[in-house]
Amino acid sequence: MDRTRLISRLFLGLYIIAVAVLCFSRFNSGLDLSATWMGIPKDKIVHFSMFFPYPILMYLAFFTGNTRPWRLVLFLVAVILIGGTLAGVTELIQGELKYRSADIMDFRADCLGILTGTIITFIVGVITIKRKK
């Protein structure tokens, strides 16, 4: 395994731990996430931001850099499905915790972050594939 892939996998592991801590910890810090920023609830921005890097990190950690764009598409579809499942599971677990709540809008923000990250990853991946040819 090359050094870049190893470092990417370490960052992916740290990222997953950070998301778990953010999703399942009890925060009494006084942050007001009920307010809005440019009309968007701040907690939805946090959810979007938490899941945005997921496809990028998955691409760096696991995509082999194959020169066939359809393999990139299949890889990213799998990333979306796995990421959406993880986002859904985190919301279900939060719904079971007495100090957290499940919210379908949080799940939507998570999925929007995953999809946005995937689109950017796809564009960069296609550019990378074309440069290799």
Residue pLDDT, tens place only, 43-65 = 888 899 999 999 999 999 999 87
With vertex at residue 94, the alpha carbon angle to CA 93 and CA 96, rounded to the nearest 5 degrees, is 65
Whether 91 is in a domain gets the answer: yes
Residue 107 domain flag: yes
Which pLDDT value is given to residue 103? 87
Domain annotation covers residue 81: yes
Report yes or no on 32 lying in a domain: no
Question: What is residue 8's predicted lDDT score, i.e. its pLDDT?
Answer: 93
Residues of the chain with pLDDT under 70: 1, 27-34, 36-37, 67, 133
Distance CA 108, CA 51 (A): 11
* Domain range enclosing 109: 3-21+37-132
Confirm if 54 and 113 have CB atoms less than 8 A apart: yes
Instruction: Establish if 94 belongs to a structural domain.
Output: yes
* 62 within a domain of the structure (yes/no): yes
Task: Evaluate whether 109 touches 44 at the Cβ level (below 8 Å).
Answer: yes
Q: With the C-alpha atoms ordered 95, 99, 105, 107, is the resulting torsion angle positive or negative?
A: negative
51: in domain: yes
The closest alpha carbon to 84, from 57, 60, 113, belongs to: 113
Task: Please tell me the total count of domains within the chain.
Answer: 1
Residue 27 lies in a domain: no
Residues 48 and 108: their CA atoms lie apart, in Å, by 9
